[in-house]
Amino acid sequence: MASERIWLGHRLAELPRERKIAFAVLGSALFVGAAIRVWLSLNDDGIYWPDEIFQSLEPAHRLVFGYGIVAWEFSDGARNWAFPGFVAALFQVGRLIGDDPRAYLGLTRLAFSAISLATALGSYRLARAYGAAALPAACGAAVVALAAPIIYFAPRALSDTASALPVVFGFSFALWPGAGRWQRALGASLLGLAVLFRLQNAILCVSLLAVFAGRRQFRLAVEAGVALGAWALLYGFLDLLTWGGWFHSVFTYVSVNLSPEWYRAWATNPIGVEPPDYFVRVIWSSMPPAALLLTALSLAAVRRAPGLLVVALAFLLVHSAFWHKELRFVIPVLPLFAALAAIGLDEIGAQAKKWSSESASDLTWVSPTLTALLVASALFSAAGFHDLTFAQVGQAGPRNPAASAYDDPGSVNRLLLAARKQADLCGLKLETGHLDLTGGYSYLHRPVPLYPVDGPSQESGYFNYVIGLRVPDRSGEIRAVDGTIALVRVRASCLRDEAYSWRLR
Protein backbone atom coordinates (compact mmCIF):
# COMPACT_ATOMS: atom_id res chain seq x y z
CA MET A 1 0.00 0.00 0.00
CA ALA A 2 1.08 3.60 -0.64
CA SER A 3 0.68 4.51 3.03
CA GLU A 4 2.88 1.61 4.03
CA ARG A 5 5.63 2.69 1.60
CA ILE A 6 5.43 6.25 2.98
CA TRP A 7 5.70 4.98 6.52
CA LEU A 8 8.65 2.70 5.78
CA GLY A 9 10.39 5.48 3.88
CA HIS A 10 10.15 7.79 6.86
CA ARG A 11 11.37 5.08 9.20
CA LEU A 12 14.50 4.73 7.04
CA ALA A 13 14.94 8.49 6.67
CA GLU A 14 14.73 9.29 10.38
CA LEU A 15 18.02 10.18 11.99
CA PRO A 16 18.94 9.03 15.52
CA ARG A 17 19.24 12.67 16.59
CA GLU A 18 15.71 13.42 15.38
CA ARG A 19 14.34 10.40 17.22
CA LYS A 20 16.05 11.52 20.42
CA ILE A 21 14.51 14.98 20.09
CA ALA A 22 11.12 13.38 19.40
CA PHE A 23 11.28 11.20 22.49
CA ALA A 24 12.45 14.18 24.56
CA VAL A 25 9.45 16.22 23.37
CA LEU A 26 7.03 13.35 23.94
CA GLY A 27 8.49 12.41 27.33
CA SER A 28 8.53 16.00 28.57
CA ALA A 29 4.96 16.63 27.44
CA LEU A 30 3.75 13.46 29.14
CA PHE A 31 5.62 14.33 32.34
CA VAL A 32 4.24 17.88 32.51
CA GLY A 33 0.77 16.69 31.52
CA ALA A 34 0.86 13.99 34.20
CA ALA A 35 1.99 16.42 36.90
CA ILE A 36 -0.84 18.85 36.11
CA ARG A 37 -3.44 16.07 35.98
CA VAL A 38 -2.35 14.61 39.31
CA TRP A 39 -2.46 18.03 40.96
CA LEU A 40 -5.90 18.69 39.50
CA SER A 41 -7.19 15.28 40.57
CA LEU A 42 -6.24 15.96 44.16
CA ASN A 43 -7.23 19.63 44.38
CA ASP A 44 -10.49 20.16 42.53
CA ASP A 45 -13.95 19.13 43.73
CA GLY A 46 -15.86 21.06 41.09
CA ILE A 47 -18.36 19.80 38.52
CA TYR A 48 -18.53 20.67 34.84
CA TRP A 49 -21.85 19.01 34.10
CA PRO A 50 -24.26 16.86 36.16
CA ASP A 51 -23.50 13.83 33.96
CA GLU A 52 -20.05 13.43 35.52
CA ILE A 53 -21.84 12.59 38.76
CA PHE A 54 -25.26 11.18 37.91
CA GLN A 55 -24.35 9.15 34.82
CA SER A 56 -21.22 7.67 36.34
CA LEU A 57 -20.34 8.18 40.01
CA GLU A 58 -23.85 7.88 41.47
CA PRO A 59 -24.91 4.71 39.60
CA ALA A 60 -21.49 3.25 40.43
CA HIS A 61 -22.02 4.15 44.09
CA ARG A 62 -25.39 2.36 43.99
CA LEU A 63 -23.77 -0.72 42.52
CA VAL A 64 -21.01 -0.86 45.12
CA PHE A 65 -22.65 0.56 48.26
CA GLY A 66 -26.35 -0.01 47.60
CA TYR A 67 -27.67 3.57 47.55
CA GLY A 68 -27.43 6.73 45.50
CA ILE A 69 -29.47 9.31 43.60
CA VAL A 70 -31.18 7.95 40.49
CA ALA A 71 -31.28 10.14 37.37
CA TRP A 72 -34.08 9.63 34.84
CA GLU A 73 -31.73 7.78 32.49
CA PHE A 74 -31.26 5.04 35.09
CA SER A 75 -34.92 4.83 36.01
CA ASP A 76 -36.21 4.75 32.44
CA GLY A 77 -33.31 2.67 31.12
CA ALA A 78 -31.81 5.21 28.70
CA ARG A 79 -28.15 4.36 29.43
CA ASN A 80 -26.07 1.27 28.98
CA TRP A 81 -24.47 0.06 32.21
CA ALA A 82 -20.98 -0.50 30.74
CA PHE A 83 -19.54 2.88 31.74
CA PRO A 84 -21.00 3.03 35.29
CA GLY A 85 -19.86 -0.57 35.67
CA PHE A 86 -16.29 0.50 34.83
CA VAL A 87 -16.50 3.30 37.41
CA ALA A 88 -17.95 0.84 39.93
CA ALA A 89 -14.88 -1.37 39.48
CA LEU A 90 -12.71 1.63 40.39
CA PHE A 91 -14.92 2.32 43.41
CA GLN A 92 -14.55 -1.29 44.48
CA VAL A 93 -10.76 -1.04 44.35
CA GLY A 94 -10.89 2.29 46.20
CA ARG A 95 -13.05 0.65 48.83
CA LEU A 96 -10.17 -1.69 49.60
CA ILE A 97 -7.98 1.32 50.38
CA GLY A 98 -10.41 2.74 52.93
CA ASP A 99 -14.01 3.68 53.64
CA ASP A 100 -13.40 7.40 53.20
CA PRO A 101 -14.93 8.72 49.93
CA ARG A 102 -11.62 10.42 49.21
CA ALA A 103 -10.16 6.96 48.57
CA TYR A 104 -12.48 5.93 45.74
CA LEU A 105 -12.97 9.48 44.43
CA GLY A 106 -9.23 10.12 44.29
CA LEU A 107 -8.55 6.77 42.64
CA THR A 108 -11.26 7.42 40.06
CA ARG A 109 -9.93 10.86 39.19
CA LEU A 110 -6.38 9.57 38.87
CA ALA A 111 -7.57 6.68 36.70
CA PHE A 112 -9.41 9.02 34.33
CA SER A 113 -6.40 11.33 34.27
CA ALA A 114 -4.22 8.37 33.28
CA ILE A 115 -6.71 7.54 30.50
CA SER A 116 -6.47 11.13 29.27
CA LEU A 117 -2.68 11.04 29.24
CA ALA A 118 -2.56 7.66 27.50
CA THR A 119 -4.73 9.17 24.77
CA ALA A 120 -1.73 11.30 23.80
CA LEU A 121 0.21 8.11 23.08
CA GLY A 122 -2.67 6.95 20.91
CA SER A 123 -2.45 10.16 18.91
CA TYR A 124 1.29 9.59 18.47
CA ARG A 125 0.68 6.05 17.24
CA LEU A 126 -2.07 7.10 14.83
CA ALA A 127 0.18 9.75 13.27
CA ARG A 128 2.89 7.12 12.81
CA ALA A 129 0.38 4.84 11.13
CA TYR A 130 0.02 7.48 8.41
CA GLY A 131 3.73 7.87 7.86
CA ALA A 132 4.51 10.79 10.15
CA ALA A 133 8.07 10.82 11.46
CA ALA A 134 8.64 10.54 15.19
CA LEU A 135 9.13 14.28 15.81
CA PRO A 136 5.92 15.53 14.15
CA ALA A 137 4.00 12.67 15.81
CA ALA A 138 5.45 13.66 19.19
CA CYS A 139 4.40 17.28 18.63
CA GLY A 140 0.83 16.22 17.88
CA ALA A 141 0.79 14.07 21.01
CA ALA A 142 2.14 17.01 23.03
CA VAL A 143 -0.99 19.00 22.16
CA VAL A 144 -3.18 16.20 23.56
CA ALA A 145 -1.06 16.02 26.71
CA LEU A 146 -0.93 19.77 27.32
CA ALA A 147 -4.01 21.44 25.79
CA ALA A 148 -5.93 23.27 28.52
CA PRO A 149 -9.45 21.97 27.72
CA ILE A 150 -8.23 18.36 27.55
CA ILE A 151 -6.49 18.83 30.91
CA TYR A 152 -9.68 20.37 32.31
CA PHE A 153 -11.76 17.31 31.42
CA ALA A 154 -9.06 14.76 32.31
CA PRO A 155 -10.07 13.78 35.90
CA ARG A 156 -13.82 13.99 35.28
CA ALA A 157 -15.79 10.75 35.05
CA LEU A 158 -17.35 11.49 31.68
CA SER A 159 -17.94 8.82 29.07
CA ASP A 160 -17.12 11.28 26.28
CA THR A 161 -13.59 11.95 27.47
CA ALA A 162 -12.87 8.38 28.56
CA SER A 163 -13.90 7.04 25.15
CA ALA A 164 -11.22 9.13 23.41
CA LEU A 165 -8.63 6.50 24.40
CA PRO A 166 -10.25 3.49 22.70
CA VAL A 167 -11.20 5.71 19.74
CA VAL A 168 -7.69 6.90 18.89
CA PHE A 169 -6.04 3.53 19.59
CA GLY A 170 -8.84 1.81 17.69
CA PHE A 171 -8.08 3.77 14.53
CA SER A 172 -4.33 3.36 14.99
CA PHE A 173 -4.59 -0.44 15.19
CA ALA A 174 -7.19 -0.82 12.46
CA LEU A 175 -5.38 1.46 9.99
CA TRP A 176 -1.78 0.52 10.77
CA PRO A 177 0.08 -0.33 7.52
CA GLY A 178 0.50 -4.07 7.14
CA ALA A 179 -1.58 -4.79 10.24
CA GLY A 180 -2.58 -8.42 10.70
CA ARG A 181 -6.14 -9.61 11.09
CA TRP A 182 -5.91 -9.70 14.88
CA GLN A 183 -4.66 -6.07 14.98
CA ARG A 184 -7.50 -4.87 12.79
CA ALA A 185 -9.95 -6.85 14.92
CA LEU A 186 -8.46 -5.22 18.03
CA GLY A 187 -8.86 -1.79 16.46
CA ALA A 188 -12.50 -2.42 15.58
CA SER A 189 -13.10 -3.87 19.05
CA LEU A 190 -11.72 -0.75 20.71
CA LEU A 191 -14.17 1.33 18.69
CA GLY A 192 -16.91 -1.05 19.77
CA LEU A 193 -15.89 -0.50 23.39
CA ALA A 194 -16.07 3.26 22.80
CA VAL A 195 -19.72 2.80 21.74
CA LEU A 196 -20.45 0.89 24.95
CA PHE A 197 -19.12 3.92 26.81
CA ARG A 198 -21.00 6.45 24.64
CA LEU A 199 -23.58 5.59 22.00
CA GLN A 200 -22.70 8.52 19.72
CA ASN A 201 -19.31 6.94 18.99
CA ALA A 202 -21.16 4.61 16.63
CA ILE A 203 -20.55 7.39 14.07
CA LEU A 204 -16.85 6.51 14.24
CA CYS A 205 -17.52 2.81 13.75
CA VAL A 206 -19.40 3.53 10.54
CA SER A 207 -16.59 5.89 9.56
CA LEU A 208 -13.98 3.14 9.90
CA LEU A 209 -15.95 0.95 7.51
CA ALA A 210 -16.22 3.92 5.13
CA VAL A 211 -12.44 4.43 5.21
CA PHE A 212 -11.85 0.79 4.24
CA ALA A 213 -14.49 1.03 1.52
CA GLY A 214 -12.97 4.26 0.21
CA ARG A 215 -9.65 2.46 -0.12
CA ARG A 216 -11.44 -0.40 -1.90
CA GLN A 217 -10.37 -2.72 0.91
CA PHE A 218 -13.73 -4.43 1.01
CA ARG A 219 -12.49 -7.58 2.70
CA LEU A 220 -11.07 -5.52 5.54
CA ALA A 221 -14.35 -3.64 5.79
CA VAL A 222 -16.23 -6.93 6.13
CA GLU A 223 -13.81 -8.19 8.81
CA ALA A 224 -14.16 -4.94 10.77
CA GLY A 225 -17.93 -5.09 10.33
CA VAL A 226 -18.02 -8.58 11.84
CA ALA A 227 -16.00 -7.44 14.86
CA LEU A 228 -18.20 -4.38 15.32
CA GLY A 229 -21.29 -6.54 14.97
CA ALA A 230 -20.07 -8.73 17.82
CA TRP A 231 -19.69 -5.64 20.03
CA ALA A 232 -23.16 -4.48 19.01
CA LEU A 233 -24.54 -7.82 20.17
CA LEU A 234 -22.67 -7.39 23.46
CA TYR A 235 -24.25 -3.94 23.82
CA GLY A 236 -27.71 -5.38 23.26
CA PHE A 237 -27.10 -8.35 25.55
CA LEU A 238 -25.95 -6.08 28.38
CA ASP A 239 -29.19 -4.11 27.97
CA LEU A 240 -31.10 -7.39 28.06
CA LEU A 241 -29.46 -8.35 31.35
CA THR A 242 -29.88 -4.95 32.99
CA TRP A 243 -33.04 -3.46 31.44
CA GLY A 244 -34.85 -6.57 30.25
CA GLY A 245 -34.76 -5.92 26.51
CA TRP A 246 -32.32 -6.01 23.60
CA PHE A 247 -30.97 -2.48 22.93
CA HIS A 248 -33.45 -1.06 25.42
CA SER A 249 -31.18 1.89 26.27
CA VAL A 250 -30.67 2.75 22.60
CA PHE A 251 -34.37 2.88 21.80
CA THR A 252 -35.20 4.79 24.98
CA TYR A 253 -32.39 7.32 24.62
CA VAL A 254 -33.07 8.04 20.95
CA SER A 255 -36.86 8.29 21.34
CA VAL A 256 -36.56 10.71 24.26
CA ASN A 257 -33.90 12.92 22.69
CA LEU A 258 -35.73 13.20 19.37
CA SER A 259 -39.11 13.90 20.90
CA PRO A 260 -40.68 17.36 20.41
CA GLU A 261 -41.28 17.61 24.16
CA TRP A 262 -37.58 17.19 24.85
CA TYR A 263 -36.68 19.86 22.32
CA ARG A 264 -39.19 22.31 23.80
CA ALA A 265 -37.79 21.65 27.28
CA TRP A 266 -34.25 22.43 26.12
CA ALA A 267 -35.34 25.43 24.06
CA THR A 268 -36.67 27.13 27.19
CA ASN A 269 -33.71 26.02 29.33
CA PRO A 270 -31.03 28.58 30.35
CA ILE A 271 -28.44 26.50 28.49
CA GLY A 272 -30.90 26.02 25.63
CA VAL A 273 -30.11 25.55 21.96
CA GLU A 274 -26.58 26.39 20.84
CA PRO A 275 -25.73 27.78 17.36
CA PRO A 276 -23.95 25.58 14.75
CA ASP A 277 -20.60 27.32 15.30
CA TYR A 278 -20.59 26.41 19.01
CA PHE A 279 -17.73 23.88 18.90
CA VAL A 280 -15.49 26.01 16.69
CA ARG A 281 -16.09 29.04 18.89
CA VAL A 282 -15.48 27.26 22.20
CA ILE A 283 -12.40 25.33 21.05
CA TRP A 284 -10.94 28.57 19.70
CA SER A 285 -11.61 30.43 22.95
CA SER A 286 -10.11 27.69 25.13
CA MET A 287 -6.82 27.26 23.22
CA PRO A 288 -6.46 29.86 20.40
CA PRO A 289 -2.87 29.28 19.16
CA ALA A 290 -3.14 25.49 19.36
CA ALA A 291 -6.56 25.52 17.67
CA LEU A 292 -5.23 27.63 14.80
CA LEU A 293 -2.26 25.34 14.21
CA LEU A 294 -4.32 22.15 14.56
CA THR A 295 -6.76 23.44 11.95
CA ALA A 296 -4.14 24.52 9.43
CA LEU A 297 -1.93 21.45 9.81
CA SER A 298 -4.91 19.06 9.75
CA LEU A 299 -5.95 20.49 6.39
CA ALA A 300 -2.38 19.98 5.18
CA ALA A 301 -2.86 16.25 5.86
CA VAL A 302 -5.61 15.92 3.26
CA ARG A 303 -3.38 14.32 0.60
CA ARG A 304 -1.99 11.62 2.88
CA ALA A 305 -4.96 11.03 5.23
CA PRO A 306 -8.15 12.12 3.45
CA GLY A 307 -10.26 9.42 5.09
CA LEU A 308 -9.16 10.25 8.62
CA LEU A 309 -9.75 13.96 8.00
CA VAL A 310 -13.27 13.27 6.77
CA VAL A 311 -13.92 11.05 9.82
CA ALA A 312 -12.91 13.79 12.27
CA LEU A 313 -14.79 16.52 10.40
CA ALA A 314 -17.90 14.38 10.02
CA PHE A 315 -18.02 13.70 13.76
CA LEU A 316 -17.70 17.42 14.46
CA LEU A 317 -20.33 18.39 11.88
CA VAL A 318 -22.86 15.80 13.02
CA HIS A 319 -22.63 17.06 16.60
CA SER A 320 -22.85 20.65 15.33
CA ALA A 321 -26.16 19.83 13.64
CA PHE A 322 -27.91 18.90 16.89
CA TRP A 323 -29.46 21.63 19.03
CA HIS A 324 -27.87 20.72 22.37
CA LYS A 325 -24.07 20.97 22.40
CA GLU A 326 -21.37 20.64 25.04
CA LEU A 327 -17.62 20.79 24.49
CA ARG A 328 -17.18 17.33 26.00
CA PHE A 329 -19.18 15.79 23.14
CA VAL A 330 -16.31 16.27 20.66
CA ILE A 331 -13.40 15.43 22.94
CA PRO A 332 -13.17 11.91 21.37
CA VAL A 333 -12.00 13.38 18.03
CA LEU A 334 -9.57 16.02 19.31
CA PRO A 335 -6.78 13.36 19.45
CA LEU A 336 -7.62 12.53 15.82
CA PHE A 337 -7.13 16.18 14.87
CA ALA A 338 -3.83 16.18 16.79
CA ALA A 339 -2.70 13.14 14.79
CA LEU A 340 -3.83 14.84 11.57
CA ALA A 341 -1.82 17.93 12.54
CA ALA A 342 1.25 15.73 12.99
CA ILE A 343 0.65 14.13 9.59
CA GLY A 344 0.19 17.57 8.02
CA LEU A 345 3.38 18.82 9.66
CA ASP A 346 5.27 15.83 8.30
CA GLU A 347 3.77 16.35 4.84
CA ILE A 348 4.77 20.02 4.81
CA GLY A 349 8.31 19.04 5.81
CA ALA A 350 8.52 16.45 3.03
CA GLN A 351 7.19 18.90 0.43
CA ALA A 352 9.54 21.64 1.64
CA LYS A 353 12.53 19.35 1.14
CA LYS A 354 11.27 18.40 -2.31
CA TRP A 355 10.75 22.01 -3.36
CA SER A 356 14.16 22.98 -1.98
CA SER A 357 15.89 20.29 -4.02
CA GLU A 358 13.99 21.24 -7.19
CA SER A 359 14.45 25.01 -6.96
CA ALA A 360 16.92 27.58 -5.77
CA SER A 361 14.77 28.50 -2.76
CA ASP A 362 15.67 27.02 0.61
CA LEU A 363 12.44 26.05 2.37
CA THR A 364 13.92 23.59 4.84
CA TRP A 365 13.30 26.11 7.64
CA VAL A 366 9.52 25.74 7.30
CA SER A 367 9.19 22.38 9.07
CA PRO A 368 11.39 23.22 12.11
CA THR A 369 9.56 26.54 12.51
CA LEU A 370 6.12 24.92 12.45
CA THR A 371 7.37 22.20 14.81
CA ALA A 372 8.54 24.81 17.32
CA LEU A 373 5.28 26.75 17.00
CA LEU A 374 3.16 23.64 17.59
CA VAL A 375 5.11 22.69 20.72
CA ALA A 376 5.05 26.30 21.93
CA SER A 377 1.27 26.46 21.45
CA ALA A 378 0.86 23.32 23.57
CA LEU A 379 3.06 24.72 26.32
CA PHE A 380 1.26 28.06 26.20
CA SER A 381 -2.07 26.30 26.59
CA ALA A 382 -0.82 24.23 29.53
CA ALA A 383 0.60 27.32 31.24
CA GLY A 384 -2.85 28.90 31.35
CA PHE A 385 -4.86 25.75 32.02
CA HIS A 386 -6.16 27.04 35.36
CA ASP A 387 -7.34 30.32 33.84
CA LEU A 388 -10.20 28.69 31.92
CA THR A 389 -13.62 30.23 32.51
CA PHE A 390 -17.01 28.58 32.15
CA ALA A 391 -17.46 30.44 28.87
CA GLN A 392 -14.21 28.96 27.54
CA VAL A 393 -15.32 25.41 28.29
CA GLY A 394 -18.74 26.03 26.77
CA GLN A 395 -20.72 25.98 30.00
CA ALA A 396 -23.69 28.33 30.14
CA GLY A 397 -26.78 28.57 32.28
CA PRO A 398 -26.97 29.88 35.84
CA ARG A 399 -23.20 29.94 36.31
CA ASN A 400 -21.23 33.09 35.64
CA PRO A 401 -19.57 32.66 32.20
CA ALA A 402 -16.63 34.81 33.31
CA ALA A 403 -16.04 32.81 36.51
CA SER A 404 -13.34 30.19 36.86
CA ALA A 405 -14.38 26.80 35.52
CA TYR A 406 -12.57 25.08 38.38
CA ASP A 407 -13.70 23.96 41.83
CA ASP A 408 -17.34 24.98 41.44
CA PRO A 409 -19.17 23.89 43.58
CA GLY A 410 -16.13 22.52 45.39
CA SER A 411 -17.09 24.13 48.69
CA VAL A 412 -20.44 22.33 48.76
CA ASN A 413 -18.88 18.98 47.90
CA ARG A 414 -16.20 19.30 50.57
CA LEU A 415 -18.90 20.10 53.11
CA LEU A 416 -20.74 16.96 52.00
CA LEU A 417 -17.57 15.09 52.95
CA ALA A 418 -17.56 16.91 56.29
CA ALA A 419 -21.24 16.12 56.89
CA ARG A 420 -20.52 12.43 56.50
CA LYS A 421 -18.25 12.58 59.55
CA GLN A 422 -20.98 13.91 61.83
CA ALA A 423 -22.03 10.98 64.01
CA ASP A 424 -25.54 12.33 64.58
CA LEU A 425 -26.30 13.11 60.91
CA CYS A 426 -29.78 11.83 60.00
CA GLY A 427 -30.79 14.20 57.23
CA LEU A 428 -29.19 17.03 55.24
CA LYS A 429 -30.58 19.92 53.21
CA LEU A 430 -28.68 21.97 50.65
CA GLU A 431 -29.66 25.62 50.81
CA THR A 432 -27.19 26.42 48.05
CA GLY A 433 -29.08 24.91 45.11
CA HIS A 434 -30.40 21.74 43.54
CA LEU A 435 -28.81 18.31 43.68
CA ASP A 436 -27.78 18.16 40.02
CA LEU A 437 -24.69 20.34 40.61
CA THR A 438 -23.43 18.51 43.69
CA GLY A 439 -21.49 15.33 44.32
CA GLY A 440 -24.56 13.56 45.70
CA TYR A 441 -24.07 10.41 47.76
CA SER A 442 -20.74 9.75 46.07
CA TYR A 443 -19.46 12.52 48.36
CA LEU A 444 -21.91 12.30 51.27
CA HIS A 445 -21.51 8.51 51.52
CA ARG A 446 -24.20 8.15 54.19
CA PRO A 447 -27.64 6.62 53.50
CA VAL A 448 -29.60 9.56 54.93
CA PRO A 449 -32.09 11.85 53.15
CA LEU A 450 -30.42 14.57 51.06
CA TYR A 451 -32.70 17.45 50.11
CA PRO A 452 -32.30 20.26 47.54
CA VAL A 453 -33.00 23.93 48.19
CA ASP A 454 -36.69 23.52 47.33
CA GLY A 455 -37.06 20.52 49.63
CA PRO A 456 -38.96 20.39 52.93
CA SER A 457 -38.65 23.26 55.38
CA GLN A 458 -36.66 23.10 58.58
CA GLU A 459 -39.91 22.84 60.53
CA SER A 460 -40.59 19.45 58.91
CA GLY A 461 -37.93 17.89 61.12
CA TYR A 462 -36.70 15.65 58.27
CA PHE A 463 -33.09 16.86 58.51
CA ASN A 464 -30.77 18.06 61.26
CA TYR A 465 -27.97 19.59 59.16
CA VAL A 466 -27.94 22.19 56.40
CA ILE A 467 -25.29 23.42 53.98
CA GLY A 468 -25.79 27.12 53.27
CA LEU A 469 -24.25 30.57 53.22
CA ARG A 470 -22.28 31.60 56.26
CA VAL A 471 -24.10 34.70 57.45
CA PRO A 472 -23.86 36.58 60.77
CA ASP A 473 -27.41 35.80 61.91
CA ARG A 474 -27.19 32.10 61.06
CA SER A 475 -29.00 30.00 63.67
CA GLY A 476 -27.61 26.65 64.68
CA GLU A 477 -24.16 25.27 65.40
CA ILE A 478 -21.55 25.67 62.67
CA ARG A 479 -19.62 22.41 62.33
CA ALA A 480 -17.48 23.16 59.25
CA VAL A 481 -16.75 26.08 56.92
CA ASP A 482 -15.43 26.23 53.36
CA GLY A 483 -15.17 29.73 51.94
CA THR A 484 -18.53 31.43 52.27
CA ILE A 485 -20.41 28.15 52.78
CA ALA A 486 -21.00 26.45 56.13
CA LEU A 487 -22.23 23.10 57.44
CA VAL A 488 -24.67 23.88 60.23
CA ARG A 489 -26.35 21.60 62.79
CA VAL A 490 -29.90 22.87 63.24
CA ARG A 491 -31.43 20.23 65.53
CA ALA A 492 -30.48 17.10 67.48
CA SER A 493 -32.51 14.48 65.61
CA CYS A 494 -34.76 13.86 62.60
CA LEU A 495 -38.25 12.64 61.89
CA ARG A 496 -38.50 9.80 59.43
CA ASP A 497 -39.54 10.92 55.93
CA GLU A 498 -41.66 8.05 54.61
CA ALA A 499 -42.10 9.75 51.24
CA TYR A 500 -38.39 10.40 50.59
CA SER A 501 -37.47 9.73 46.95
CA TRP A 502 -34.04 8.77 45.64
CA ARG A 503 -34.95 10.19 42.22
CA LEU A 504 -33.08 13.22 40.93
CA ARG A 505 -35.69 15.96 40.64
Q: What is the 3-state secondary structure (H, E, C) of 114-165?
A: HHHHHHHHHHHHHHHHCCCCHHHHHHHHHHHHHCHHHHHHCCCCCHHHHCHH
Distance of alpha carbon 102 from alpha carbon 42, whole angstroms: 9
Q: What is the pLDDT of residue 2?
A: 45
Distances (CA, A) of 235 to 89, 241, 375, 442: 18, 10, 40, 26
Q: Identity (one letter) of the amino acid at 195?
A: V
pTM of the model: 0.93
- Which residues, including other chains, have CB under 8 Å from residue 460's CB and lie 6 or more apart? 495, 497
Assess contact for 249 and 78: CB atoms under 8 A: yes
How distant, in Å, are the alpha carbons of 87, 126, 134, 279 from that of 374?
35, 18, 14, 21
**Phi and psi, residue 488, nearest 5°:** -125, 135
Q: Are 397 and 271 in contact (CB under 8 A)?
A: yes
Cα separation, 339 vs 130, in Å, equals: 9
Three-state DSSP at 466 gives strand
Per-residue pLDDT of the chain (505 residues; tens, 9 = 90+): 444 444 444 544 566 788 899 999 999 999 999 999 999 999 999 999 999 999 999 999 999 999 999 999 999 999 999 999 999 999 999 999 888 999 999 999 999 999 999 999 999 999 999 999 999 999 999 999 999 999 999 999 999 999 999 999 999 999 999 899 999 999 999 999 999 999 999 999 999 999 999 999 999 999 999 999 999 999 999 999 999 999 999 999 999 887 777 666 665 565 657 888 999 999 999 999 999 999 999 999 999 999 999 999 999 999 999 888 899 999 999 999 999 999 999 999 988 888 777 676 767 788 899 999 999 999 999 999 999 999 999 876 678 889 999 999 999 999 999 999 999 999 999 999 899 999 999 999 999 999 999 999 999 999 999 999 998 888 899 999 999 999 999 999 999 999 999 998 7
What's residue 4's pLDDT?
41
Strand duo 450-451 + 428-430: pairing: parallel
DSSP letter at 449 equals -
